[in-house]
Structure 1
Amino acid sequence: MNRPLLSQKLSNLAAIASIACLFATAFLPRVSRAEDRRPPNVVFFLVDDLGFMDIGANNPDTFYETPRIDELAQSGMRFTNGYAANPVCSPTRYSILTGKYPSRVDATNFFTGTRAGRFHPAPLNNRMPLEEVTLAEALKDSGYATFFAGKWHLGPSEEYWPENQGFDINRGGHNAGGPYSGNRYFSPFKNPRLEDHGEGEHLPDRLATEAAAFIADHQDQPFLAYLSFYSVHTPLMGRPDLVNKYQAKAERLGIADREALGEEEQVFPSAKSSTRRVRTLQNHAVYAAMVEAMDQAVGKVLDQIESLQLRSNTIVILTSDNGGLSTSEGSPTSNLPLRGGKGWVYEGGIREAFLIRAPGVTESGSTNDTPVCSIDFYPTILDLCGQGLPSDRVVDGQSLRPLLNGQPLDRKSLFWHYPHYSNQGGFPGGAIREGDWKLVERYEDGRVHLYNLAQDIGERNDLAAKHPERVTEMRSRLHDWYVDVDAKFLREKDGKQPWQPKQ
C-alpha cells in the first residue's frame, strides 16, 4: 500500500476513535462528580419581633433603614406571604427547628406564658421535647458543624438548651426570652452561655462576631450557622449614635411629634378602657436604632461569607418569629396596613419577612406570593442539602424547592392555633388561609370572620355573612386540622365554660 493512502487510513481511524471516545465520555455516569460536590452551607437569621413592614424590601416607605437585609432580598427570593406558625416566639422557634405545627406538642404560647382572661388558657408545654430530631441534629448526622447564637427560649433548664438539641456550639442561648440580665443589650451581659469581654459591647454585633468566627473556623466543612438575634425584642435600648440619628430623621421628616397611636379592640375584661392603643406611625427612634444595628450585624455575617468566597455554596435565610410589637410594651412599631401585631392572629401578628437565597436555585431579585410558613424551613433546608426527612417523624411543612425553581406548590391550607391571652392584648383564636381567603375563629365564643386578603389586607371587611358556604367549608377543614394535631382549647374559669369546637 502506498504511504499517502496508509497515512490517510490511519488518520481516519484516529478520528473515528476520537469520536467514539467522546460518545463514551458523554454517556458515562456523572454520579461521581455529584458525590464529590460538597453539600451547601446554611446560614439562618432569625430576628426576634421584626415586623413585616419593618424592612425596606417589604416597605419602601419604612422609617427604618435596612440596607443589608434589602440587599439579601435582592440576591434571592422574597416571599410576600410568608408566615410564622404562631403569633409569639417559642412556638414559631419550635416549628422552624422541627418542621411541625407547635400544637402537636402543646407548645402554643411563649415559654411559659399562662395569662388568664375570661377563661383559663389551654395547657402549655414549656420545652421542645428532646425526642425531636431538630434541624441541627439532622444536619449534624450528615457531617455538618452546627452553631447557635442568641435567643433560644425553648426550654427551662440546661438539658433543653441548644447544645443538647444538636448544636456543637452555643453562644448565648438559654431559657430567657430576652436580654434581661446584666446591662441587657450592652455588656457585661451576664448571660450563662456568653462570656463577657468587658463593658460596652453591643449584643447584636457580638453575636454576629461569634457567627463570623465560627464560619471562618469551619469553612472547610459544611456548616449550619443559626443566628437568632435577641433584637429587636424589648427592652427598648439602642446605640446612642443611632438613636440620635433617628431622632434627627424624625425631626427632619416632620413626624417626631405627630400622633402615632390609634385604637384597636380590647379583649382583657379587667382593662380600664374599651379599646387598646396601637401604633399607626413608624417614628420610634430607639426602635429604629435597634433595627439598624441588627441590620448591620446581618451585614457583618454576609461580609464574612463573601470574604471567604463561600457565597456560591451557602444558603442564606432570614425571617422573624412573629409580627412587630404594636399594641403593648411601648408599642414601638407600626405594622399598617396589616392589622394587629405580635400576639394577634391578624396579619400583623403572623406575616413575616421571609427571604431565601439558595445559589444555583433562586433567581436574584425574585418574589413569590404563595403562602408559606415557618414549618417549611425544615424540609426546605434538608431538601436543598440533599437530605431526606426523618422516616419516623411527622413533618407538617413542605419543601419550598418547587417555588424556588419557579414551580407551584401543591398545598391548599395553612393553619394557626393560639388558645391563649397574649401579653400584647390579642384574643385566643385560630385561623386558616386558603388562597386569598382567611378565616379567623375566636375561642371564647366561637365567632368567625372571613377576609379576602387580596382586597382587604387590613382585615377590616368581614365577609362571613356574604359567603356562608365558604365559611362552612373552611371552618370544617380547620376543625379537622384541630383533630389531626390534637389541639387544646380554653378551659373553664369561675364556673363559666368557653366555646369548644365540635369533634
Structure 2
Amino acid sequence: MERRLTWINLFMGLLIMMLGFSCQEEQPSPPNIVFIFSDELQFEDLGCYGGSIPTPNIDRLAAEGLRFTKAYTVASMCTPSRYALLTGQYPGRCAHPAFLEDTSAEAPYNVGWNSFLDENTYTIPRMLSGQGYLTGMAGKWHLGPHYDSVEAEVAGLKNLDTPEADATLRRFQRWCQEAVRKGGGFDVVNSVMYSNFDGFPAEQLHYHHFPWITAGAISFLEKAAVSEKPFFLMVTPTSLHGPHHVAGLNRDYQYTPGGRRPEVRAYNLDTKALWQVVDTMASPMAHRTAGLAFLDHQVGQILELLEQKGLEEETLIVFVPDHNTEPAKATCYEKGIHIPMIVRWPGQVPAGATTDARVQLTDWMGTLAEIVGAPPASPDSKSFLTVLKEPETEGRTYTFAESGYTRSVSDGRYKYIAFRYPDSLLQQMKNGTLEYAPNVFGQYWQGQSIIAARFYPHYFDANQLYDLENDPYEQYNLANDPAYADALARMKTTLQRHLSDFQRPFPMAYDAFRDGEAFGRLKKATLRLDPNSIPWYKRDWGEIEWPPPTKH
C-alpha cells in the first residue's frame, strides 16, 4: 500500500510539473517595442487619414494595425510633449531645476520648452530596463539644456572636411549621447540631435539629416537582433518641423552632426527624383512633400530591417507625432493637441481597425507597464491596453492639456480653457509698466503665439468654453452664455480637481481687470503683431485658412 502511494504521489508530482510547464509556455513573450515619434504632423499629412501626399509605408502600418481618431498630446510643443510621453506625467509635474526656476514659487507653472529630464526622472526606458529590455534612441531629443563647452567649438567650424572638424563633431556627439543616456535612461544612444537642425551650432548642417538618424536606428536594431533581450527603440524623426525640407535635398550626407560618416549615405532616398517632384511646387507644399517623403522612407527602412531579421511579428510599432501644427501650436486648442496615432502589433491589435477611444500621450507608460508586467506607473497615465485589443472599448472620459499659463479639459463635447496670468504680470499691466497683453507664455514676441492669437478670437479670454461638436475650430466662446452655465461649472470643477495635487496652485478665480477696457487696449496692442513678420511663416505655411473652407 505504501509503495502504491509512492507511485501515485510521483505520478501526481509529474502531472503538476507538466501542467506548470504548459502554463508557462502559454504566457506570451514581452514584445519588442519601436516608437516612431515624429515632429509636428497634422492628420491631412498622412494618406491613411485622407491626405493627398503619398505615405505608403505609414499607410501600411495603418492597414496592418489600429488607427486612432481621438489621440491627444498634453502639450502642443516639442519639449513638454516628449516629457509627457517618456514619463507618463503632465509637464507641470516636472522637477528639473530649470523648470522650477522659470516661474516664482507662488505662480502657476509656465509650461513651455522647459520641462527637462535628468538622471532622477523615472522614464519608459528605465521602466523597461527593469523588465530586462535593451533600450535605445536615435533622433531629436529636445529635453535638456545646452551647457557643454565644446558647443562653442562646433559653432566656430568653418570647414567640415578636415580631421579637426571631424574630431570636434564626434566629441560633441559623444557629449550629446551621454547627456541623453543620463537624462532618458537609455542603454544605447545613436545619431542624436539635442534640439532642432536649424539650431545646431555648425551652420553648415542646418538641414534635416534623415539618413544619419536612420543609420543610428538601424545600428541599434542590428545589435538588438542578436541580443537575447527584448528591445525598446525610440526613433524621433524631425519631420515636419523646420528648417525647410527642400534645403536638405542634394546634400552630401556623409557630413553629419556626428562627424564624417560616408556609410550613412546608403540610407538616403532618391533625392534627384524627389527634387523633380517638388521643384515646381509652391514653398509650403514643397516643404511638406519633401519632409513626408523623407519620413515615410525612414519608416519603410525600419520595417524592412525588422522583416529581414524576422522580428516583425513580435514587435509592437507605434507611429505618433509630438503635436499638431499651426495655427494652434503652443496652445491648448484642438488643432494643436489632437494628433494622429497608429499602432501595429501582429496577433494582438486587429489589422485595419479604427478606434474613437480618447487617449493621451501620458497613457503610454501605463499601457506599456501593463504589457510587460511592470509596477504601476504615474497616476497621470491610464493604460489603454484594452483599447488596443478591443478598439470599440471606451477610453478616457476627460483629456487634459497645458501650455504656458493655460490649462484645459475636454470631455469630447465641451472644451474648457483657463488662462491665468501670474500676479506679477497683472500688476505690470495695471500700473502701465506693460503696454501690451502678454501671450500664454507671459511674453510679447513668440512666433506660434502671434499666429494663434490672430486665428483664435478668444485667445486672451480668462475663461473659454467651446462646444466642439458644433464649433470644432473653437471660434465661439460660450463661457458667458447662461445656457451653458452647467457645462462650464462641470468642466471648471473637473479641471480644478485635476490640478489639485500639483505642487503649485493654479487659481480658478481670476482678476476682473481681464474683462475691462484697459485690458482690451493691451490686447489690441499685441494683436498688431503681424504673423508675416515671422521669417518661416509664409515660407512654410503660406496663407492659412482658419477655419478651413472644408472639414478634414
TM over 0.5: yes
User: Could you tell me which residue of structure 1 aligns to residue 288 of structure 2?
Assistant: 287
Question: Which amino acid in 2 is paired with 1:307?
Answer: Q
- TM-score w.r.t. the length of structure 1 is 0.70
Distance 1:450 1:27 in 2: 62
SS in 1 for 2:135: strand
Distance 1:108 1:449 in 2: 32
1:341 to 328, 343, 346: 328
Contact preservation (8 Å) 2:240, 2:291:
yes
User: Could you tell me which residue of structure 2 aligns to residue 45 of structure 1?
Assistant: 36
1:163 to 165, 176, 181: 181
- What is the CA distance between 1:101 and its match in structure 2? 0.9
2:485 to 468, 480, 483: 468
SS in 1 for 2:218: helix
1:122 to 77, 92, 110: 110
How do residues 89-238 of structure 1 correspond to structure 2 at under 5 angstroms?
89-105=78-94, 122=110, 125-156=114-145, 157=147, 161-164=179-182, 165-173=184-192, 175-181=194-200, 189=205, 203-220=209-226, 221-238=229-246
SS in 1 for 2:79: helix
- What is the CA distance between 1:222 and its match in structure 2? 0.7
User: Could you tell me which residue of structure 2 aligns to residue 459 of structure 1?
Assistant: 474
Distance 2:465 2:241 in 1: 31
- What is the CA distance between 1:481 and its match in structure 2? 1.6
SS in 2 for 1:80: strand
SS in 2 for 1:71: helix
- What is the CA distance between 1:42 and its match in structure 2? 0.5
When structure 1 is superposed on structure 2, of 85-94 and 213-222 the one drifting more is 213-222
Higher helix proportion: 2
User: Could you tell me which residue of structure 1 aligns to residue 386 of structure 2?
Assistant: 402
Contact preservation (8 Å) 1:106, 1:488:
no
2:371 to 378, 381, 384: 384
CA RMSD of superposed structures (Å)? 3.6
Q: Structure 1's 108 and 440: CA in aligned 2 closer, same or farther, altered over 3 A?
A: farther
Q: Structure 1's 182 and 161: CA in aligned 2 closer, same or farther, altered over 3 A?
A: closer
Distance 1:208 1:341 in 2: 30
Q: Structure 1's 404 and 163: CA in aligned 2 closer, same or farther, altered over 3 A?
A: same
- What is the CA distance between 1:247 and its match in structure 2? 4.1
2:341 to 354, 358, 362: 354
2:396 to 404, 411, 420: 411
- What is the CA distance between 1:27 and its match in structure 2? 9.0
Q: Structure 1's 488 and 212: CA in aligned 2 closer, same or farther, altered over 3 A?
A: farther
Q: Structure 1's 472 and 97: CA in aligned 2 closer, same or farther, altered over 3 A?
A: same
Equivalent residues, number: 398
Question: Which amino acid in 2 is paired with 1:77?
Answer: L
Is 1:430 equivalent to 2:407 in the alignment? yes
For each residue in 1:241-269, what CA deviation from the matched residue of structure 2 results, as whole angstroms up to 9, or x when unmatched? 42441344x4xxxxx59xxxxxxxxxxxx
Contact preservation (8 Å) 1:108, 1:418:
no
Is 1:88 equivalent to 2:77 in the alignment? yes
Distance 1:431 1:355 in 2: 25
Distance 1:134 1:27 in 2: 39
Is 1:245 equivalent to 2:277 in the alignment? yes
- What is the CA distance between 1:32 and its match in structure 2? 2.2
For each residue in 1:147-186, what CA deviation from the matched residue of structure 2 results, as whole angstroms up to 9, or x when unmatched? 11111111125698321132111123354344533677xx
Distance 1:430 1:106 in 2: 19
For each residue in 1:81-110, what CA deviation from the matched residue of structure 2 results, as whole angstroms up to 9, or x when unmatched? 11111011111101111111111127899x
User: Could you tell me which residue of structure 1 aligns to residue 361 of structure 2?
Assistant: 374
Q: State percent identity of aligned pairs.
A: 26
Structure 2, unpaired ranges of 5+: 1-10, 148-174, 251-271, 422-459, 516-552
Distance 1:232 1:114 in 2: 28
Distance 1:410 1:368 in 2: 9
Q: Structure 1's 488 and 237: CA in aligned 2 closer, same or farther, altered over 3 A?
A: farther
Distance 2:503 2:102 in 1: 19
- What is the CA distance between 1:290 and its match in structure 2? 1.2
Q: Structure 1's 120 and 439: CA in aligned 2 closer, same or farther, altered over 3 A?
A: closer
User: Could you tell me which residue of structure 2 aligns to residue 16 of structure 1?
Assistant: none
For each residue in 1:120-151, what CA deviation from the matched residue of structure 2 results, as whole angstroms up to 9, or x when unmatched? 98387552242222111111122211111111
For each residue in 1:54-86, what CA deviation from the matched residue of structure 2 results, as whole angstroms up to 9, or x when unmatched? 11222x2x3432111111111111110111110
For each residue in 1:419-438, what CA deviation from the matched residue of structure 2 results, as whole angstroms up to 9, or x when unmatched? 2xxxxxxxx52210113222
SS in 2 for 1:81: strand
Contact preservation (8 Å) 2:317, 2:344:
yes
SS in 1 for 2:362: helix
Contact preservation (8 Å) 2:31, 2:314:
yes
Distance 1:108 1:347 in 2: 30
Is 1:440 equivalent to 2:417 in the alignment? yes
Question: Which amino acid in 2 is paired with 1:303?
Answer: E
Distance 2:31 2:361 in 1: 20
Contact preservation (8 Å) 2:111, 2:402:
no
User: Could you tell me which residue of structure 2 aligns to residue 78 of structure 1?
Assistant: 67
Question: Which amino acid in 2 is paired with 1:104?
Answer: R
How do residues 476-495 of structure 1 correspond to structure 2 at under 5 angstroms?
476-487=493-504
User: Could you tell me which residue of structure 2 aligns to residue 363 of structure 1?
Assistant: 350
Question: Which amino acid in 2 is paired with 1:438?
Answer: K
Q: Structure 1's 383 and 295: CA in aligned 2 closer, same or farther, altered over 3 A?
A: same
Question: Which amino acid in 1 is paired with 2:34?
Answer: V
Contact preservation (8 Å) 1:96, 1:374:
yes
Distance 1:405 1:104 in 2: 31
SS in 2 for 1:154: coil
SS in 1 for 2:474: coil
For each residue in 1:253-287, what CA deviation from the matched residue of structure 2 results, as whole angstroms up to 9, or x when unmatched? xxx59xxxxxxxxxxxxxxxxxxxxxxxxx52123
Q: Structure 1's 488 and 151: CA in aligned 2 closer, same or farther, altered over 3 A?
A: farther
